[in-house]
Amino acid sequence: MTELATRVDTVVATAAPRTRRPSLRRLPGYAFLTVAAVVSLFPLYFMLVSATNTSKDVLGSRLLPGGALFDNLGKLLDQQDVGGALWHSFLNATLTTVGALAICSIAGYGFEVFHSRGKDRVMRVLLLAMMIPFAATMIPLFQMFARANLVNSTFAVILPALSTPFLILLFRQASRGFPHEILEAARLDGLGELRIFARIYLPTMRSTFAAAAVITFMAAWNNFLWPKVILVDNAYQTMPMLISNLTAGYVTDYGVLMLAVLLASLPTVVIFLVLQRAFAEGITGAVK
């Protein structure tokens, strides 16, 4: 019994350090991730805190909440039409998202399901178009809309974003994982292509649609350059345009500015938090 107890103690003594080594090895990784999380969240925290402080406190880098939230809100409502800007931003982003999902999903579906060499050439042209900066096409676009009498309209804001090469490519790549045997079976049962797209393709590609919706909504909500060019009347201004107007004067109230930035950020944060799981699945090309 004594010899057996000695062997057990030896085994326990030699095994104990081995159980501690993995946790010690992970400490540098945990430390790095903690620092990265703090650095990533600090701008959001500073925005939240600054929205409750005065301009002097913001310039002094105050990191604690203050009591100027309602004063900043009153000044912001007096200076700008916040409700109108939020409405126009929401309207533009929603219409752009719905239209882009409808058009780009059908295009990506057609590129992959009805595959041909000609469509591959067209896809290469679309990919090349992604390399052209928007500033190079902005002046021709403005001239086209001016000739069509569409300047200063919601339609002029959303039309250029209804079809993008990135979304078409996203749906095309996701469609490669779609089981084509189901399409053949549906065609044998007499279903048309539109009914196949609506009843089979759409429910299967929900994660891809969610990812595309998040990307499109955030891009449309944060769009500044094109609305600033095409909307010549402040009555149609969006939230990015409103924030720009707050910095256009001789003196900038940074407390009011940070409150406006906070109000402009909340919708995109909510959309991403609601659809974050489906967004991750859609980006990785998962099909369920």
What are the helix (H) ranges across the chain? 2-50, 55-59, 69-79, 82-113, 117-129, 134-147, 154-158, 165-175, 180-188, 193-196, 202-204, 206-221, 225-230, 239-246, 254-283
Residues 19 and 111 in one domain: no
Range of the domain at 80: 76-284
86 and 40 co-located in one domain:
no
The answer to whether residues 227 and 240 touch, using CB atoms and an 8 Å cutoff, is: yes
91 and 48 in a single domain? The answer is no
- Boundary (domain end) residue, out of 56, 73, 90: 73
pTM: 0.82
- Residue 160's CB is within 10 A of a number of other CB atoms, namely 18
Looking at the fold, whether 20 and 126 belong to one and the same domain comes out as: no
Query: Are residues 124 and 254 both part of a single domain?
Result: yes
Q: What is the pLDDT along the chain (288 residues), one digit of tens a residue?
A: 455 445 545 544 554 445 455 467 788 888 888 999 999 889 889 999 999 999 888 888 888 888 889 999 999 999 888 899 999 999 999 999 999 999 998 888 888 888 778 777 888 888 888 888 888 888 899 999 999 888 888 888 999 888 888 898 888 888 887 777 787 788 887 777 788 888 888 888 888 888 899 999 999 999 998 998 898 877 888 999 999 888 877 788 899 999 999 999 998 888 888 887 877 777 665 444
Which among 225, 226, 81, 236 is positioned nearest to 152, based on CA atoms? 236
Q: Are the CB atoms for 220 and 92 separated by under 8 Å? A: yes
Q: Which of 73, 98, 125 is the last residue of a domain?
A: 73
Do 12 and 111 reside in the same domain of the chain? no
Residues 59 and 163 in one domain: no
Q: pLDDT digit string (tens) for 95-117?
A: 999 999 999 988 888 888 887 78
Residue 125 and residue 257 in one domain? yes
Same domain? 64 vs 198 = no
Q: Are residues 195 and 258 in the same domain?
A: yes
The CATH number covering residue 117 comes to 1.10.3720.10
Number of domains in the chain: 2
Contact 238, 222 (CB under 8 A): no
Considering 73, 94, 122, which residue would you say is the last residue of a domain?
73
Rg (CA), the chain: 27
Q: 191-198 contacts: CB < 8 A, separation 24 or more?
A: 197/106, 197/109
Same domain, 224 and 237: yes
Residue 284: its pLDDT value, please? 66
**Same structural domain for residues 42 and 90?**
no
